[in-house]
Amino acid sequence: MDKETQKTTETKKARTNTAEKETGVFRKTVLPLLLLLLLLGSLYYIYQQRESVTSNKELAEQYQQDLVVEQEAKAKLGEEYKLLEEENIVLQDSIQMLQNRITELGQLLKDKVGIISRNKDEIVRMQTEMNRLVAEISQLRSEKGANQAKLKQLENERFALDKRIGDLFMQNDTLENENNALMYEIVTKEEERDNLEAQLTDKEKELAGVKGEGPYDIEGKEGILINVNAVEAEFKVIEARTKRNKLSRSAKKWQSTFIQFDIIYPNLDDLVGQNFTVQLINEDTDEVLPPGEDNSGPYNAQGKSFEFKSNPVEVVYANWQDKGASTNYTARLFFMDAKGQENTIASAVAPVKFKR
């Protein structure tokens, strides 16, 4: 083998040894690193899948809880509806009883007035008869040799007639006094009936609000009539938040509530400028959670008031007071009429959401 061939062979061996060394280094260092990265990637993927499963499970649980709250709210509305119906029946019965009594008293009064009128006619007739007897007695007494038996008979007739007239006068006085008492009772019963009818009207309006059916026009601002039963609210966000404006897990850290919703109405322009109130209600105690003091109203106001301008409506309800441990709260929307009275919007109820 010549020197050049030998040199070429040695160069090839050197290159082979170098490649083998590099392959060994790759197998010992780079390959394990790649395997480690692959393992870490697989673990991260598994972690993400578990997180996704956990998140989906939490969402499912939240949905189930929201569904339960919604069902409870509907059940409560059903109970309110039943109670209002029972109250309406009682009011209607009471009104009917009062009306029956008023009719009865009116008939008694009419009968007594009739008796008084007939007595007066009888008194006039008897007074005419009395005048005739007095004249006849006077004429008989002026005659010589007057028939004493006849005179006595006429005197007895005059005395009996005078007593009868006196009795009728006394009866009329008694009847007049009774009529005054009847009139007072009638007026009192009519006032009671009118009050009950006003209560019944209010209850029927309240019942219509709970049912969410039929026309229920009430006067809002500027004299605009609003059909409260046609007003709806589509709540998008009702979040319990902490002092740092993050989602709250418990009532202990719950400082404010962010509420966002759309108001739905056939003629939305009629609602522009109208007043509404949002209330947070503890469903365990049925108490209103008053908003904390802010620049828009007095402390312990019954809810957060706002003037509707456009959708979506956003309300920040400061509620940093001690609320105990209950997280069973709902947000409810009320329409404020021209007199400042709250009017229930049956469909505008949704639960406050806490971080799960």
Which structure tokens are listed for 154?
A: 């006429």
Question: Taking a C-beta distance cutoff of 8 angstroms, is the pair 302, 290 a contact?
Answer: yes
For residues 108 and 176, state if they share a domain: yes
Rounded Cα–Cα distance for residues 42 and 278 (Å)? 49
Range of the domain at 29: 15-49
260: number of Cβ within 10 Å: 15
For residues 106 and 160, state if they share a domain: yes
Task: Report the candidate in 38, 61, 39, 19 with the shortest Cα–Cα distance to residue 354.
Answer: 61
Q: Calculate the CA 2 to chain-centre distance.
A: 112
Q: Is residue 8 part of a domain?
A: no
pLDDT tens-digit profile of 208-246? 655 555 556 788 998 898 988 889 999 999 999 998 889
Work out how many domains the chain is built from and give that number: 3
For residues 134 and 200, state if they share a domain: yes
Q: What is the CATH number of the domain that holds 286?
A: 2.60.40
- Count of alpha carbons within 13 Å of 43, Cβ hemisphere only? 6
pLDDT band with cut points at 50, 70 and 90 for residue 278: very high
Q: Is residue 55 part of a domain?
A: no
345: number of Cβ within 10 Å: 21
pTM: 0.44
Q: Is residue 67 part of a domain?
A: no
Q: Is residue 206 part of a domain?
A: yes
Which pLDDT value is given to residue 347? 77
Is residue 145 predicted with pLDDT exceeding 50?
yes
pLDDT band with cut points at 50, 70 and 90 for residue 47: low
Mean pLDDT of 343-354: 86
Q: Is residue 5 part of a domain?
A: no
Question: Taking a C-beta distance cutoff of 8 angstroms, is the pair 308, 271 a contact?
Answer: yes
Burial 39-53 (b: 16+ CB within 10 A, else e): eeeeeeeeeeeeeee
Cα separations in angstroms, 264 against 76, 228, 267? 23, 11, 9
For residues 204 and 224, state if they share a domain: no
Least confident of 12-21, 46-55, 58-67, 298-307: 58-67
Q: Is residue 143 part of a domain?
A: yes
Q: Is residue 64 part of a domain?
A: no
Instruction: Give the residue, 86 or 15, on which the prediction is more confident.
Output: 86
Task: Report the candidate in 329, 240, 208, 314 with the shortest Cα–Cα distance to residue 280.
Answer: 329
pLDDT band with cut points at 50, 70 and 90 for residue 49: low
Which pLDDT value is given to residue 149? 84
Task: Report the candidate in 211, 330, 224 with the shortest Cα–Cα distance to residue 274.
Answer: 224
Question: Taking a C-beta distance cutoff of 8 angstroms, is the pair 354, 249 a contact?
Answer: yes
pLDDT tens-digit profile of 280-333? 998 888 888 888 754 444 444 678 999 999 999 999 998 888 777 777 899 999
Q: What is the DSSP string of 150-193?
A: HHHHHHHHHHHHHHHHHHHHHHHHHHHHHHHHHHHHHHHHHHHH
Mean pLDDT of 164-185: 90
For residues 267 and 306, state if they share a domain: yes
Cross-strand pairs, 239: 258, 353
Q: What is the CATH number of the domain that holds 201?
A: 1.10.287.620
- The most confident of the ranges 81-90, 94-103, 139-148 is 94-103
Which pLDDT value is given to residue 241? 92
Task: Report the candidate in 210, 204, 206 with the shortest Cα–Cα distance to residue 349.
Answer: 210
DSSP designation for 14: H
DSSP designation for 222: G
For residues 346 and 283, state if they share a domain: yes
For residues 341 and 289, state if they share a domain: yes
Which structure tokens are listed for 338?
A: 């021209």
Q: Is residue 191 part of a domain?
A: yes
